[in-house]
Amino acid sequence: MFEKILIANRGEIACRVILTARKMGIKTVAVYSDADKDARHVELADEAVNIGPAPSRDSYLQADKIIAACKQTGAQAVHPGYGFLSENAGFAKRVEEEGIVFIGPKHYSIAAMGDKIESKKLAGAAGVNCIPGVNDAIETAEKAVEIAKGIGYPVMIKASAGGGGKGLRVAFNDKEAFEGFTSCRNEARNSFGDDRVFIEKFVEEPRHIEIQLLGDSHGNVIYLNERECSIQRRHQKVIEEAPSPFISDATRQAMGEQAVALAKAVKYQSAGTVEFVVGKDQSFYFLEMNTRLQVEHPVTECITGLDLVELMIRVAAGEKLPLAQKDVRRDGWAIECRINAEDPFRSFLPSTGRLVRFQPPKETMFASDTANLMGVRVDTGVQDGGEIPMFYDSMIAKLIVHGKDRAEAIAKMREALNAFVIRGISSNIPFQAALLAHPKFVAGDFNTGFIAENYAQGFHAEDVPHADPDFLLALAAYVNRRMLGRAAGISGQMPGHGVTVGEAFVVIGLGAGGANTRHPVVVRDFEAKSGSSRIETGASSYEICSNWHLGGARIRGTVNGRPFAAQVERGVGRNPLAIRIAHDGTRLDALVLSPRAAQLHALMPYKAPPDMSRFVLSPMPGLLVEVAVQPGQKVQAGERVAVIEAMKMENVLFATADGVVGKVLAGKGESLSVDQPIVEFV
């Protein structure tokens, strides 16, 4: 067994590998870029080596620097994690040539499966079902349109070296095929250094189901059940679960056996995943093989009780698999939510900056620990006060739950999301909560188009109706009463002028554009010591009891005897007195006032924000890579104005109306902040 391994990655996957290595008594070496010098994976490892500037092409994609770090520290093996160099056959080969073990499949297996064009041909030869398409690299956008017409729309345009949703577009017409081809090539060149692109038929109403494999150097290959990964946004997985609520035992076995046949055909060693697109009649087609550990591997670990990272390390060290196909378990139900640094209320644009608060829910399961299951686990590479840089992927944590069945897993996940506090940047937690509450998701009735169909106009606060909106009002009143209780108890108040607190209040819901709602509430039986109170609003009554401390971002307690967790924030929006309550994905911004103060508030004029419609604003922090207009130019609605790059994705900004460019306010290569003006129209 190795004494020391180097993890050629960053973020949560680097931390995940370090935890298993520590359990196995193996010393670890982290590598880091200038942007990650204070990152969690650097702190967790036994040693750390700086490998260059912040952009990944200058650091985490530099094979020479990683091999040099291995030699410098005496690391005997490299674990590549996922992304970066994990599926780079050239890197795997070079590592082996330098006498270092690559903790993953052999370079020839990566080469065979990493090239999506060649892998299709191999899969077909191995007896695996394949989708119709053109499997040769396409040279021009015009040729792409011609081929797409021949196959018949919709088609999928994919980068041969792609992965993680990068370099992938679905086109429904000639215009989309033309533009999609160009974007795919650019993204693939920037992310993978390989701009070959091919086209295949897009199966409508498809499910994305993948089979987890494990192979060793002794010719043994087994499959560890399947994962359901159909909940995707722009081809990036959002929620994954194991097992799938859709496929039958017969389909599971057929998919598993085909996946194993393919793995054996390329002499596969290590953990790998064969991805299938599955039609509504349970017909399935080979999509691609990921020759690495997957982001969503924890759900498989939960239902099988196996540590996949440990098995990868053991196989790489030459050990045999410790189990056969008949020994593979399938216990309970696991769900994973990817917690991303993006703002769901602003078209999911990336959100970067400092994590002012990062408080995950209480963990009862842990990465690398397969003894404690049926609980909550958080895999992350960040911590309180850490920085979310714009150079890397937007995922900041993975929230995993394991229940005895799907209904219990969904309930656990909703509870855990309520207790997950992230401040300083925006996260997709409200969106995740909305998905988990959606009747079709709960029923298991969805496909890869689920998010596009149900949130076609984007995601808005009103898309998350709360099961009990009066509870949010009651909780706002309760939080306000606790704050007033402290104010009333402060010593040294002038006699006759001390703070006195009544029982009647008005909760004013602060809507967009000054559209407010008013709800009379009564707060009775307040007890400061026990933190209990009875709140009446409308026909509802709530007995709330909590030991919440003022200033705490998370409030836990009981309501009418049932446990709950919610989040509280003061001074939100443009009102320092406003209270924000977040629960089950729904957000209430409110003022809680005495009846007299509420009367006076109604007389206050509404101050509208300034009109910025003449400007094209940067919707996120990022790098301005192109300005496509110049002063005096006439621009039509829908015309390309600028391109911003953030978190490895290109975002094109278009003009929303016809106009003439007055000034260009930002230049190519400039780092932009949110809402920074780029172009002004006259």
Task: Determine the Cα–Cα distance for residues 81 and 607; give it in Å rounded to an integer.
Answer: 51
Q: What is the pLDDT of residue 606?
A: 81
Given the candidates 3.30.1490.20, 3.30.565.10, 1.20.120.790, 3.30.360.10, the CATH classification of the domain at 132-201 is: 3.30.1490.20
Q: Which two tokens stand for residue 356?
A: 């002012």
My answer on whether omega of the bond before 243 falls inside 30° of 0, hence cis, is yes
Residues 419-445: tens digit of each pLDDT: 999 999 999 999 999 999 999 999 999
So what's the architecture of 615-681 in CATH? Beta Barrel (2.40)
Mean pLDDT of 509-521: 85
Q: Which two tokens stand for residue 128?
A: 């695996």
- Helix (H/G/I), strand (E/B), else coil: 406: helix
Q: What is the pLDDT of residue 162?
A: 67
Task: Classify domain 207-463 at the CATH class level.
Answer: alpha beta
Q: Cβ(40)–Cβ(383) under 8 Å?
A: yes
Q: Which two tokens stand for residue 294?
A: 């997957």
Residues 444-482: tens digit of each pLDDT: 999 999 999 999 888 887 777 888 999 999 999 999 999
pTM: 0.84
Give the number of other Cβ atoms within 10 Å of residue 534's Cβ.
18
Task: Determine the Cα–Cα distance for residues 590 and 517; give it in Å rounded to an integer.
Answer: 9
**Strand ranges (E), 317-386:** 333-340, 342-343, 349-350, 353-354, 357-359, 376-380
Q: Cβ(248)–Cβ(193) under 8 Å?
A: no
Task: Determine the Cα–Cα distance for residues 629 and 134; give it in Å rounded to an integer.
Answer: 37
Q: Which two tokens stand for residue 238?
A: 């959002």
Residues 233-292: tens digit of each pLDDT: 988 899 999 999 999 999 999 999 999 999 999 999 999 999 999 988 888 999 899 999
| pLDDT bucket at 567, cuts 50 / 70 / 90 | very high
Location of structure tokens 């109403």: 205
Q: Which helix (H) or strand (E) holds 151?
A: helix 141-151
CA atoms 120, 124, 126, 127: torsion sign: positive
Task: Determine the Cα–Cα distance for residues 279 and 186; give it in Å rounded to an integer.
Answer: 31
The overall longest dimension of the chain from CA atoms, in Å, is 90
Task: Determine the Cα–Cα distance for residues 306 and 293; give it in Å rounded to an integer.
Answer: 14
| pLDDT bucket at 5, cuts 50 / 70 / 90 | very high
Residue 377 has pLDDT above 90, yes or no: yes
Location of structure tokens 């040729």: 143
Lowest mean pLDDT among 129-138, 216-225, 560-569: 129-138
Mean pLDDT, all residues of the chain: 91
Lowest mean pLDDT among 422-426, 490-494, 625-629: 490-494
Task: Determine the Cα–Cα distance for residues 37 and 68; give it in Å rounded to an integer.
Answer: 18
Q: Cβ(478)–Cβ(470) under 8 Å?
A: no
Residue 592 has pLDDT above 80, yes or no: yes
Q: Cβ(66)–Cβ(8) under 8 Å?
A: yes
Local structure of residue 369 (DSSP, 8 states): B
| pLDDT bucket at 311, cuts 50 / 70 / 90 | very high
**Domain covering 4-103, topology:** Rossmann fold (3.40.50)
Residue 553 has pLDDT above 70, yes or no: yes
Task: Determine the Cα–Cα distance for residues 350 and 394; give it in Å rounded to an integer.
Answer: 7
Task: Determine the Cα–Cα distance for residues 170 and 160; give it in Å rounded to an integer.
Answer: 15
Residue 499 has pLDDT above 80, yes or no: no
- Active-site residue numbers? 288
- Helix (H/G/I), strand (E/B), else coil: 164: coil
Q: What is the pLDDT of residue 132?
A: 74
Residue 443: partners with Cβ closer than 8 Å, 6 or more residues away: none
Q: What is the pLDDT of residue 673?
A: 86
Regarding beta strands 77-79 and 4-7, do their DSSP bridges make them parallel or antiparallel, or are they unpaired? parallel
Q: What is the pLDDT of residue 609?
A: 78
Nearest to 297 by CA among 307, 287, 311: 307
Residue 600 has pLDDT above 90, yes or no: yes
- 36-59: burial string, b at 16+ Cβ within 10 Å, e else: beebbbbebbebbbebbeebbeeb
Q: Which amino acid, residue 581?
A: I
Regarding beta strands 197-201 and 155-163, do their DSSP bridges make them parallel or antiparallel, or are they unpaired? antiparallel
Regarding beta strands 77-79 and 101-102, do their DSSP bridges make them parallel or antiparallel, or are they unpaired? parallel
Q: Which helix (H) or strand (E) holds 381?
A: none
Question: What percent of the chain shows pLDDT beyond 70?
Answer: 99
Residue 604 has pLDDT above 70, yes or no: yes
| Domain extent listing, the chain | 4-103, 132-201, 207-463, 469-488+500-601, 615-681
Task: Determine the Cα–Cα distance for residues 163 and 288; give it in Å rounded to an integer.
Answer: 10
Residues 664-679: tens digit of each pLDDT: 999 998 988 888 999 9
- The burial class, CB within 10 Å (0-12 / 13-18 / 19+), for 254 is middle
Task: Determine the Cα–Cα distance for residues 567 and 421; give it in Å rounded to an integer.
Answer: 7
Q: What is the pLDDT of residue 281?
A: 84
Residue 325 has pLDDT above 70, yes or no: yes
Residue 181 has pLDDT above 70, yes or no: yes
Q: What is the pLDDT of residue 555?
A: 95
Mean pLDDT of 397-416: 97
Location of structure tokens 């993978």: 192
Residues 150-163: tens digit of each pLDDT: 888 889 898 887 66
Nearest to 383 by CA among 393, 397, 369, 395: 397
Residue 164 has pLDDT above 70, yes or no: no
Mean pLDDT of 555-568: 95
Residues 537-550: tens digit of each pLDDT: 988 999 999 999 88
Mean pLDDT of 368-395: 90
Residue 648 has pLDDT above 70, yes or no: no
Given the candidates 2.70.240.10, 3.30.700.30, 3.40.190.10, 3.40.50.10490, the CATH classification of the domain at 469-488+500-601 is: 3.30.700.30
| pLDDT bucket at 560, cuts 50 / 70 / 90 | very high
**Cα dihedral 302, 308, 311, 317 in deg (nearest 10):** -160
- Helix (H/G/I), strand (E/B), else coil: 312: helix
Location of structure tokens 């992304």: 83
